[in-house]
Amino acid sequence: MEPQAFLAKAFLTLFVVMDPVGLGPVFLALAGDRSLAEQRAIAARAVAIAAGLLAFFGFFGAPLLAYLGIGLGAFRVAGGLLLFRIAVDMVFASRIRETPEEEEEARAREDISVFPLAIPLLVGPGAMASILVLAAEAKHVPAGPFWLAVAAGVVLLLAYLALLLAGPISRGLGRTGVNVVTRVLGVLLAALAVQYVFDGVWAYFVRG
C-alpha cells in the first residue's frame, strides 16, 4: 500500500472510531458548567491520556497478543465485529457511550479527563482494536509507523479542538446535524468493520 493511501485509511479509521463530532455534546453535558479554563485543562489531559493509550497499544499490542496466543487474523475479526456493533448503534442513533451508573459517577468525579473522556469515549475497545490492526499494516508500508503516528496525531488534535469548540459546534449543527454526521460516520464504520472481518478470515484460512 502506498504511504498516502495508508495515511488516508488510518486517519479515516481513527476519526470514525473516535468520533470527535459526537464527543462534543457528551463533553458539554459533563463539563459544560465549568469555567473555560477548566474545560481546556480537562480536554488537554484527556487527549494526552488518549495519546498515551494509543501509543501503548500501537507498540505493545502485537507482543501482548503473541503472548496470549491470539493471532492477528482472529483479532481483526473480533475488532471488526466490535466496530460493527458500534456502527449499528451510530446509524440507529442508539449509541450509548456509558451506562447510567458510569455517567452518574463521571458527573460526581471532579476530574473527568481519565474517565469517561479518555476511556472509553476517546479510546474505547474499537480504537484499541483499530490502532493495533493499523500498526500491523504499517509494517508493510514505507515509513508506515510514522504515517500512523501522523494520522493519530491529527485525529487527536481534531478531538481536542472539538472539545474546546463543543458549544459552538453543537449550537451550529443542532441536534439534527449531530445525528446526521453520526449516522454518516456509522455507515462508513460499518463498511470498515466488514472489511476487517474479511481481512481476518482471509489471513486465518488462506495465509494460515
Nearest to 23 by CA among 45, 46, 7: 46
Residue 110 confidence (pLDDT): 59
Residue 143 confidence (pLDDT): 96
99-113 mean pLDDT: 59
How does the average pLDDT of the chain come out, rounded?
Answer: 82
Residue 16 confidence (pLDDT): 87
Rounded Cα distance, 73 and 94, in Å: 29
Rounded Cα distance, 43 and 182, in Å: 21
Residue 66: band (very low, low, confident or very high) from pLDDT cuts 50, 70, 90: confident
Distances in whole angstroms, Cα of residue 186 to Cα of each of 10, 44, 64, 79, 133 = 16, 26, 29, 15, 19
Counting the structural domains of the chain, the total is: 1
Residue 14 confidence (pLDDT): 94
Domain span at residue 161 reads 3-205
Lowest mean pLDDT among 52-61, 132-141, 170-179, 190-199: 170-179
Per-residue pLDDT of 35-50, as tens digits, reads 888 989 999 999 999 9
Per-residue pLDDT of 171-191, as tens digits, reads 777 777 767 877 887 787 788
Q: Looking at the predicted structure, is the pLDDT value of residue 192 above 90?
A: no
Q: What are phi and psi of 138, to 5 degrees?
A: -65, -25
Residue 94: band (very low, low, confident or very high) from pLDDT cuts 50, 70, 90: low
Nearest to 122 by CA among 170, 51, 193, 175: 51
DSSP the chain: --HHHHHHHHHHHHHHHH-HHHHHHHHHHHHTTS-HHHHHHHHHHHHHHHHHHHHHHHHHHHHHHHHHT--HHHHHHHHHHHHHHHHHHHHTT----S-HHHHHHHHHSS--IIIIIIIIIIS-HHHHHHHHHHHHHHTTSTTHHHHHHHHHHHHHHHHHHHHHTHHHHHHHHHHHHHHHHHHHHHHHHHHHHHHHHHHHHHHHHT--
Q: Looking at the predicted structure, is the pLDDT value of residue 208 above 80?
A: no
Residue 96 confidence (pLDDT): 46
Looking at this protein, which amino acid is placed at residue 3? P
Residue 60: band (very low, low, confident or very high) from pLDDT cuts 50, 70, 90: very high
Nearest to 86 by CA among 116, 131, 121, 48: 121
Lowest mean pLDDT among 64-68, 102-106, 199-203: 102-106
